[in-house]
Amino acid sequence: MATFFGEVVVAPSRAGVDDEELAEEAREETPEDREIRRELEKKREIDVLWTLKSGACTEGSADEPFAYSEFIVAIGHNAAAFLSSFILDSVCWEVVGVVKLWNEWCRTSHTTNVLPTDSFCLFYRLISDPTVLLCQCSCYVAEDQQFQWLEKVFGRMRKEGLQVTILSTCPVADYKTQESTLTLPSPFLKALKTKEFKEQVCCPLLEQPNIARDLPAA
């Protein structure tokens, strides 16, 4: 801690800590601490439940992978609201799944009857073409849960012939450009794509050094 303004202080660092010190810290952990840690890890596990025609829910790992051609994921409240307003406002879609997760910023359940203010993650299938799947994800997925989310959601899908589209938003203030952000139209659309995507992109590509973050990046 600095004793006066402007003093240079060395921040504590884990660099150079050897295995013996780490092992010593592990030995200092009590059985109660280990039990609490295990309970927290278990509570933070993500459950993906797929809704059957009967209305029941089952964990997806027990069934064969689904064959989809299009998977559109809207991440965040704005992107999820966009899907609600312009795509899901008809009876052409049916709910086929839900993600249940818990973390410091989010509490979801396996219910599919959600309010606009709820945090949720629902999957919709196009009735006229069951190979088209949408996902509305307005809940916060913590950094340590993102790999779980990807593994359990995409683990139910065949990768051959699958095109994935991610919709997400970020504040204009986070956009890095040589122009003044005050002159930029708001909102505006930019795209990132993989080398496997060979079709025409519907908007300009995102310029460097802008990056995607969190679940969209994962």
Question: H or E segment at 82?
Answer: helix 77-86
In the predicted model, what is the mean pLDDT of residues 204-215? 90
Question: Which residues does 51 contact at the CB level (< 8 Å), separation at least 6?
Answer: 57, 95, 96, 97, 98, 112
**pLDDT of amino acid 117:** 66
Rounded Cα–Cα distance for residues 143 and 165 (Å): 21
pLDDT band at residue 55 under the 50/70/90 scheme:
very low
pLDDT tens across 59-99, in order?
544 567 888 999 999 999 999 999 988 888 877 999 999 99
User: Is the pTM higher than 0.85?
Assistant: no
pLDDT at 57 over 50: no
Contact 201, 193 (CB under 8 A): yes
Q: Backbone phi, then psi, for 185, in 5-degree steps?
A: -65, 145
pLDDT band at residue 122 under the 50/70/90 scheme:
very high
**pLDDT of amino acid 163:** 93
**pLDDT of amino acid 10:** 60
pLDDT band at residue 136 under the 50/70/90 scheme:
very high
Rounded Cα–Cα distance for residues 215 and 211 (Å): 12
**Listed residue (103, 98, 142) closest to 120, CA to CA:** 98
Q: In 29-64, where does DSSP find H-type helix?
A: 31-43
